[in-house]
Structure 1
């Protein structure tokens, strides 16, 4: 897009490689049937279920704070180098004991992806949205073999 203002020429360019962060409010659900959960943080549990690419969040404390999971997705290019591909947040304000989920659609680790390589991994950070600094715990990278 080109705009002219007062004789000056401005050119606005977009970066197709920079995707917007995906922020979703989790929908009510039951506990995940399988997957890997983060249990290190007092007040929140976050899980990833590779089959179906579902991110879960559960509030585990009666403290009145909402909870969320930040997630990152990286894929490999054809040379085998990891690149940040997608990221986002799945939030829940449902209260203690309730699960919420956000359905995503990630590349599988064994499928050829948008960068021409094979490999997809996910990292979760479960957080309690407390006043001031949020309290969070992060897991190591998980291969998406769903």
Structure 2
């Protein structure tokens, strides 16, 4: 559990560092970071999702929820980066056991494009939806 927390915190630190190093506009949004809360079930059927061998992430527009599931019991944390066209961005991470859905409950502006991106071994997968 300590190792999982250390990995998630290191990822958050790296994510934050990139936000400060990358070129920005005059008014840049600060990155948002959330740990997913346990969800009894996953997203509504038809919600856009992206997945790989270790993580599955979905966006449910009803309620602006980002669902995340750790797909591999390897002791590593699972997370998804998200970004809203127009400036907001962040990360939703799970410390829940593999196979369990977690949810980050957000409040996004209406009719904006959101992108969820997951990473595994240096490769990314993503999905795009409308808030």
TM category, shorter: 0.7 to 0.9
Q: Residue deviations 1:27-54, cap 9 Å, x none?
A: 1112112411112x11100000011100
Q: Residue deviations 1:100-141, cap 9 Å, x none?
A: 1111111111xxxxxxxxxx110001235xxxx5553222x3
Return the structure number with greater strand share.
1
Measured in 2, the distance between the counterparts of 1:127 and 1:68 equals: 8
Runs of 4+ residues deviating >2 angstroms: 133-136
- Listed as ranges, the gaps of 5+ residues in structure 1 are 1-14, 75-83, 110-119
CA RMSD of aligned residues (A): 1.8
**1:38 is aligned to 2:50:** yes
Q: Give the aligned partner of residue 70 of structure 1.
A: 81
Q: How does 1:72-87 map to 2 (within 5 A)?
A: 72-74=83-85, 84-87=86-89
- Listed as ranges, the gaps of 5+ residues in structure 2 are 1-24
Question: Of 121, 128, 131, which aligns to 2:113?
Answer: 121
Question: Of 30, 33, 39, which aligns to 1:20?
Answer: 30
User: Radius of gyration: which is bigger?
Assistant: 1
TM-score (norm 1): 0.65
**1:136 is aligned to 2:102:** no
TM-score (norm 2): 0.72
